[in-house]
Amino acid sequence: MADFFQHLVNAFSLGGVYALIAIGYTMVYGILRLINFAHGEIFTYSIYFAFYGVSLFLLPWWVAFILSIFLTAFLGSLIERIAYRPLRDAPRISALITAIGVSFFLQNFATVVFGGRAKSFNPQTGMYPTYFLNVLNIGGVRLKILSVITLVTVTVSLLILIWIVYKTKTGMAMRAISKDIPTTRLMGVNVDKIIMITFMLGSSLAAVGGLLWAMTYPQVYPFTGVIPGLKAFTAAVVGGIGSIQGAMLGGFILGVCEIMIVAFFPSIAGYRDAIAYAILLFVLLVRPKGILGVEVTEKV
């Protein structure tokens, strides 16, 4: 029984991070109908920013972390400005190909600038306080402080995001843009600005996810974000791409599935990535719009 709860704890701390990254995908998709494949790389860069903030500029860890979130948001808006805005009126496939190009560019740029070897993201070098690594023992279930921090951060980030999207004017504009860009523009909304804010929000969530990820798995290399990025994309689609609650649900479903499959069928644990993608295929076959997705009618 303790084992089962242990698995559940593991699943939620993994799923929480997937959920955070998935929301970035879903927000950009919801508004622009664009799958931002560079999202995984934005995740990677947020870890590098924090890493260099602490190790090179010797900032206190929390300053470096907050700075990293801002820098990542800026990177996201920069990508939008340079790579996606010029293609706003181009066919959707062009934007998709550009997204993949940006992703490869960022990976290789990181390899050249930061080097191909993994850097350790370690409390021993002052990256973050060592008490984050402490473990609580509750009746045989071992709960990492970091898992608690992850869950709290995920919840708080989500509440802030939902507040922005549903309670503010910017959020209202975002929702309007997702329905109809030209009409929104006619209503006097600065569409470019709102889209940029969307990218910044999505990227800062990726940064929060990245930092939590790097603390849990303390290393960073140019391809760190590839697998979490793909998983989060899967989570976003499973939950219903375009829906924030769906992305969150998808993230947790994926986390639970991955952990439980390894737990109950240990002999196929090596293929759990394949299983994650099999879930994706299954959802696409059975319910293409995802669990909480809304049917999108294309205007012809």
Task: Kindly tell me which residue out of 1, 113, 124, 299 binds other proteins, with binding defined by CB under 8 A.
Answer: 124
Region from 3-11, 62-70, 195-203, 245-253 binding other proteins, contact rule CB under 8 A: 3-11
Interface with other proteins in residues 68-97 (CB under 8 A): none
Helices then strands, counting H and E runs in the chain, come out as 11, 4
Nearest to 126 by CA among 55, 28, 176, 197: 55
Verify binding: residue 114, other proteins, rule CB under 8 A. no
CB 197 within 8 A of CB 190: no
Give Cβ neighbours of residue 178 (< 8 Å, ≥ 6 apart): 30, 31, 242
Region from 6-14, 31-39, 244-252, 289-297 binding other proteins, contact rule CB under 8 A: 6-14
Is 135 or 284 the residue whose CB approaches other proteins more closely? 135
Is 44 or 77 the residue whose CB approaches other proteins more closely? 44
Q: Could you give the CA distance from residue 263 to residue 3 in angstroms, rounded to a whole number? A: 9
Verify binding: residue 259, other proteins, rule CB under 8 A. yes
Verify binding: residue 227, other proteins, rule CB under 8 A. yes
Beta-bridge partner residues of 135: 144
Verify binding: residue 137, other proteins, rule CB under 8 A. yes
Verify binding: residue 159, other proteins, rule CB under 8 A. no
Verify binding: residue 135, other proteins, rule CB under 8 A. yes
Is 111 or 170 the residue whose CB approaches other proteins more closely? 111
Verify binding: residue 139, other proteins, rule CB under 8 A. no
CB 21 → other proteins: shortest distance, Å? 14
Tokens of 145: 């402080």
Tokens of 225: 């974000």
Q: Could you give the CA distance from residue 237 to residue 235 in angstroms, rounded to a whole number? A: 5
Give Cβ neighbours of residue 253 (< 8 Å, ≥ 6 apart): 15, 235, 238, 239, 279, 291
Is 13 or 184 the residue whose CB approaches other proteins more closely? 13
Total residues at the site for other proteins (CB under 8 A)? 44
For 121, left (φ over 0), alpha (ψ -120 to 50), or beta? beta
CB atoms < 10 A from the CB of 124, how many? Answer: 9
Verify binding: residue 217, other proteins, rule CB under 8 A. yes
Task: Kindly tell me which residue out of 56, 93, 270, 295 binds other proteins, with binding defined by CB under 8 A.
Answer: 270
Is 124 or 297 the residue whose CB approaches other proteins more closely? 124
Verify binding: residue 153, other proteins, rule CB under 8 A. no
Give Cβ neighbours of residue 76 (< 8 Å, ≥ 6 apart): 42, 199, 200, 202, 203, 204, 206
Binding site for other proteins (CB under 8 A): 3, 6-7, 10-11, 14, 111, 115-120, 122-124, 133, 135, 137, 142, 144, 213, 216-219, 221-223, 227, 258-263, 266-273
